[in-house]
Amino acid sequence: MLKKINVVLKEKSYPIIIGYKLFNQDCILRYFKKKKKYIIITNNTLLNLCTKHFYKYLKKNNIYVDIIYISDGESYKSLHEVNNIITQLLNKDYGRDTILIAFGGGVIGDLTGFIASIYQRGIEFIQVPTTLLSQVDASVGGKTGVNHNLGKNMIGSFWQPKYVFIDLFFLSSLPKKEFLSGFSEVIKYAIIFDKKFFYWIKSNSCKLKKLDKNALLYCIYKCCKLKAKIISLDEKETSCRALLNLGHTYGHAIESYMNYNNILHGEAVSIGIVLALQTAQVLGILKKNISEKIILLLKFFNLPVLPPKNMPILSYILYMKKDKKNILGKIRLVLPSNIGIVKIYDNISQKIIISAIEKTLKKY
């Protein structure tokens, strides 16, 4: 069970290696150099898993490795933690021969990548994503950053990893809720790019939910293949890469309002997708039966489809106006007209957005 995808860029192309128990295999060792220093960035929840498997693998093969860990949670994706980690790197005199390794989900990946991009004007880093969401999406593409109280991912950079190692083995360590939340991003890829893949997910949903290795391997490979193609065409999101933001403008508004607590990113994206579907229906570009098929699939993976009841509708507008994808202050949304067909719409009116939110709250 080993698959490889190459992300082809003008500069800094890199491989994505996908498999099961990768760090039991000698073939992976060739990607690590004994002349380099590797610093793993992880969190306290994953520390035991990291030490038992990944750290142990590097140590026994005489690779220099150290660990820095932070507390677990989206609220720690902050400039405060950036300063904390950089201070530890400087205290131990780690130089430009250092390679950072992100061992964790999207928070750890984004944080580590951002630190790598600014530490001593840029050092290399490696992604070892441990959540489904980070394996299918966040670890690939070089988007790094931290949150601000007024908006998600408002401080960051584009900084591509040296390698991405996706090990299905780590998924079995996840709480069920966190594992299932990753399927919002999987379903997102199908809605944007591939109707056939959507129906494959639907047909294999029980296998995927039960962590069937072969089904997961194909699912993750497919998502990474789709994302690698888009990144190769548009590395810094000046055109088609923006399509990957389906559900994210609404979702980020929810996360920001909730101060990144009590909701997983994948859950916020799921609600965001439903609100995007309703927006498309209000505009008359999406049929109701198509929207219902997508919502049923989200529900099968125990994903939320109802906006937070305590979130004022005008709060969506407040946060969506601050979205970094907007141009000239106009709210931009990625909306589907069918499964496999989406488009970027500029200048969506506040009236349309409010109507979509109100209709969603009433329906579900």
Q: Is 259 a residue of the active site?
A: no
> 111 with 175: CB under 8 angstroms?
no
Q: Which fold has domain 177-363?
A: Dehydroquinate synthase-like, alpha domain (1.20.1090)
Q: Is 53 a residue of the active site?
A: no
pLDDT < 50: residue spans in the chain: none
Distance of CA 125 to the CA centre of its chain: 17
Q: Is 210 a residue of the active site?
A: no
User: How far, in Å, CA of 182 to CA of 192, rounded?
Assistant: 16
Q: Is 332 a residue of the active site?
A: no
The per-residue pLDDT for 215 is 98
The per-residue pLDDT for 162 is 98
Type of residue numbered 285: I
Main-chain phi, psi angles of 43, to 5 degrees? -120, 170
The per-residue pLDDT for 295 is 98
User: How far, in Å, CA of 38 to CA of 295, rounded?
Assistant: 43
pLDDT digits (tens, 9 = 90+) for 227-269: 999 999 999 999 999 999 999 999 999 999 999 999 999 999 9
The per-residue pLDDT for 326 is 79
Q: Is 252 a residue of the active site?
A: yes
Residues of the chain with CATH 1.20.1090.10: 177-363
The per-residue pLDDT for 124 is 98
User: How far, in Å, CA of 69 to CA of 241, rounded?
Assistant: 32
Among residues 74, 124, 178, 185, the one annotated as catalytic is: 185
Q: Is 96 a residue of the active site?
A: no
Beta strands 64-70 and 98-104: pairing type? unpaired
Among residues 81, 241, 255, 267, the one annotated as catalytic is: 241
The per-residue pLDDT for 327 is 76
pLDDT digits (tens, 9 = 90+) for 30-73: 999 999 999 999 999 999 999 999 999 999 999 999 999 999 99
**What is the value of pTM for the model shown?**
0.96
Residues of the chain with CATH 3.40.50.1970: 2-174
> 227 with 21: CB under 8 angstroms?
no
The per-residue pLDDT for 358 is 96
Q: Is 185 a residue of the active site?
A: yes
The per-residue pLDDT for 338 is 98
Q: Which fold has domain 2-174?
A: Rossmann fold (3.40.50)
